[in-house]
Structure 1
Amino acid sequence: MLYLQITANTGPAECCLAVAKALQLFNKEATKAGVTARIIEQVDGPHAGSLRSALLELTTDKNEDAVQHLAQAWEGSLLWICNSPYRLGHKRKNWFLGCKVFQPGSTMPESEIRYEATRASGPGGQHVNKTDSAIRATHIATGISVKVQTERSQHANKRLAAQLLSSKLEELHAAKERDSKAERRMQHHDTERGNARRIFVGMAFKEQKA
């Protein structure tokens, strides 16, 4: 199992739309690879149908290498080349987003986490609970928080939120070791412009092959 986050970082609305488009394509590739991708945390973008970020849990009941291979195919900086659908005539056409892979975190002492039950949000229908079963977990010392609403019970969401929070903290510590000047939030890593791992073109979000 791995976690993968697709994020617009601090980019404009166009980058948020790119996240939503990337998520749709990722789900297609995951299905083809036999990998189950569950959204366990998401932040909506400024326009309907856009996302600031989406955090996925990747699992499979087949070859575990499929998860690793799929994640590696997406990790890094992504570039969407398209005229802005929100600002007609805008000169900028290059919109960057990023993908980051997280390993499952280890168990963290309950005393270090503050839990809050909230109402699940998102599209209507059977996939969203109507009760306060969503859980927001905050690491007291750092203020880093996650919101999980995947499961139908508070207990299950609480367990998943604790593991996810631990994973983000471990990645934060690793990032600081790699670069002592890095003071970035785990949910929104800086995207490396000009060195895109994959490039997509147009509103159809078609991949540009090398």
Structure 2
Amino acid sequence: MIYLQLSTGQSPAECQFFAKHVFHKICREAAQYDLSTEIISETPSKYGLLSAVLAVSGSRADEFAARWLGTLQWICKSPFRPKHLRKNWFVAVSRLPEMPALPENDEIRFETCRAGGKGGQHVNKTESAVRAVHLSTGLSVRVESERSQHANKKRALQLLAMKLAEHLSQQNQRYQQNQHSQLYQLERGNAVRVFKGMDFIE
């Protein structure tokens, strides 16, 4: 299994709009490769997506990922700012480290609480929701999607491990950016895939 991270960084609305299209296209193309996908995390914005992490599994996962890794370019007049002169928008797809070993229990503080939202009386009677906090980094996740506390705890561990991997990747990226201040501009000029117009024709 591999983990693909889609990111817009601090890019404007147009890049966020493009990112949402890219995310859906990645999922559709994965199906054509007979691959299974699972959305690990997704950060939506008013205009589309700020970032997302997708798990991809199957015999052709590496071949598939190679088609997407790098900078993606969208050439189109801004759908939000008609008078804006810029027509080139970029998002990045990177591969996260493999899922690390699940953190040990002594590294995590578990908190339980009643699940909120819809679900009738059952969802509020028991403290089935679980919040897991990684003590050394302060990273946390909250899970209430399952009915049992045990299932939510297991899922929380998995999500926390993924969040730790993403955190490590971001730290590495920041280090590389500090060491190579012109890296981003260089990558923008070397898109691995280019899409054009509001129909995103490649």
Structure-2 residue corresponding to 1:83? 77
> How many Å separate the matches in 1 of 2:106 and 2:192?
40
AA matched with 1:37: T
For the 8 Å contact 2:102–2:158, the answer to whether it is kept is no
Within a 5 Å distance, the mapping from 1:21-60 to structure 2 comes to 21-47=21-47, 50-59=48-57
Structure-2 residue corresponding to 1:195? 190
AA matched with 2:195: F
> How far 1:144 moved relative to its partner?
4.7
> How far 1:98 moved relative to its partner?
0.6
AA matched with 2:165: S
Structure-2 residue corresponding to 1:162? 160
> How many Å separate the matches in 1 of 2:131 and 2:50?
18
> How many Å separate the matches in 2 of 1:137 and 1:39?
19
1:96/1:148 Cα in 2 relative to 1: closer, same or farther (>3 Å)? Answer: farther
1:180/1:94 Cα in 2 relative to 1: closer, same or farther (>3 Å)? Answer: closer
TM value normalised by structure 2? 0.74
Which structure has the larger Rg? 2
For the 8 Å contact 2:132–2:157, the answer to whether it is kept is no
| Structure 2 counterpart SS, 1:74 | coil
1:18/1:33 Cα in 2 relative to 1: closer, same or farther (>3 Å)? Answer: same
Q: Using the aligned pairs only, state the percent identity.
A: 32
AA matched with 1:24: H
1:111-134: CA deviations, max 9, x gaps? 4345667768xxxxxxxx856978
TM value normalised by structure 1? 0.72
Q: Where does the alignment leave 5 or more consecutive residues of structure 2 unmatched? A: none
Find out whether 1:92 has 2:92 as its counterpart.
no
Question: How many residues in Structure 1 have an aligned counterpart in Structure 2?
Answer: 185
1:21/1:106 Cα in 2 relative to 1: closer, same or farther (>3 Å)? Answer: same
AA matched with 2:198: M
CA RMSD of aligned residues (A): 3.3
1:8/1:25 Cα in 2 relative to 1: closer, same or farther (>3 Å)? Answer: same
1:74-125: CA deviations, max 9, x gaps? 11111111111111111111111011112222222334345667768xxxxx
Structure with bigger helix share is: 2
> How many Å separate the matches in 1 of 2:141 and 2:196?
32
Within a 5 Å distance, the mapping from 1:1-210 to structure 2 comes to 1-47=1-47, 50-59=48-57, 64-102=58-96, 103-113=98-108, 138-144=133-139, 153-171=151-169, 175=172, 179=176, 181=178, 192-207=187-202
1:66/1:204 Cα in 2 relative to 1: closer, same or farther (>3 Å)? Answer: same
AA matched with 1:14: E
